[in-house]
Amino acid sequence: MRKTNDKFLKEAIEQMLQVYKLKRRYEETGVMAHWPDLVGKYVANRTKEIFISNKKLFVRIESSVVKNELMMMRNDIINKINEEAKEVLVEEIIFL
């Protein structure tokens, strides 16, 4: 029998993430985990470092050719990330 204050596990986790202000960081970690799915395995293998700060995605790429191609795909990558997160996580991509 359910009590009146019982919650589903999903609801409890979402509430916890909001209360402790971890939701944004959790979503940002998801972007990094799904980087190979977003850009492909070849590009992901050439990525040395990736992190998000102040709605800016910082990406360090070891290949100048791959970096140039990503610069041309910049808006598509931003759109994919924000669609998957269902909120605006990234507004700009900076290649290091």
pLDDT tens sequence across 18-52: 888 888 888 888 888 899 998 999 999 999 999 98
Instruction: Please provide the average confidence, as pLDDT, over all residues in the chain.
Output: 88
pLDDT confidence of residue 17: 80
| Contact predicate 52/90, CB 8 Å | yes
Question: In sequence order, what are the beta bridge partners of 56?
Answer: 53, 92
Q: Angle of helix 64-72 relative to helix 74-85, nearest 10 degrees?
A: 70
What global pTM score does this model have? 0.79
